[in-house]
């Protein structure tokens, strides 16, 4: 049994699936993003950016470039919040969660930013 577990862990570590990451992909706009896209292999994460005034952008992103400077340059904006993540369709908007979840998710979102 132990051997099996080790094998499973080994396969998970060294045999990543060939599929690329899938992200929501939308230009900034007020509507909920439902467009999915398979990222090209150079991208290893998804990004969600809020540009204020209900404008949110969704894209594939390089995790190594998930920092304020690169994002500011790419979106040509000074005020934004962002989130990068590394699983399929993980960049859905944290702002669309209903009711009391909103303040909770924003709180944890800010905590995440502080920890990065
Ligand atoms: C992404 O790739 C999967 C598996 O290859 C495919 O089934 C799916 O249709 C693709 N999605 C898009 C939006 O291209």
Give the 3-state secondary structure of 31-66: CCCCCEEECCCCCCEEEEEECCCCCEEEEEECHHHC
38 CA distance to ligand 1 middle (Å): 6
Q: How many domains does the chain have?
A: 1
Confidence of residue 18 (pLDDT cuts 50, 70, 90): low
Note whether residue 23 is domain-resident. Answer: yes
Q: Is 83 helix (H, G, I), strand (E, B) or coil?
A: strand
* Any atom of ligand 1 within 6 Å of the Cβ of 36: yes
Q: Is residue 12 part of a domain?
A: no
Atom of ligand 1 nearest to the CA of 36: 13
The residue whose CA has the least distance to atom 10 of ligand 1 is 38
Q: What is the CATH number for 95?
A: 2.10.60.10
8, part of any domain:
no
Please report whether residue 91 resides in a domain.
Answer: yes
Global pTM?
Answer: 0.67
- Classify residue 98 by its DSSP letter: -
Q: Note whether residue 87 is domain-resident.
A: yes
DSSP 34: -
Domain that holds residue 22: 18-115
**Domain assignment of residue 107, yes or no:** yes
68-94 pLDDT, tens digit per residue, is 999 999 988 888 999 999 999 999 987
Average pLDDT over residues 50-66: 92
**Position 11 in a domain:** no
């Amino acid at each position: 049994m132990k051997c099996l577990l080790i094998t499973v862990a080994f396969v998970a570590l060294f045999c990543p699936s060939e599929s690329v990451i899938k992200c929501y992909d939308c230009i900034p706009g007020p509507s909920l993003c439902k467009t999915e896209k398979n990222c090209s292999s150079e991208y290893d994460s998804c990004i969600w950016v809020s540009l204020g005034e209900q404008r949110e952008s969704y894209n594939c992103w390089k995790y190594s470039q998930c920092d304020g400077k690169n994002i500011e340059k790419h979106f040509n904006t000074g005020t934004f919040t962002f989130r990068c993540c590394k699983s399929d369709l993980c960049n859905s908007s944290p702002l669309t969660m209903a009711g009391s979840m909103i303040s909770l998710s924003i709180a944890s979102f800010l905590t995440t930013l502080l920890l990065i």
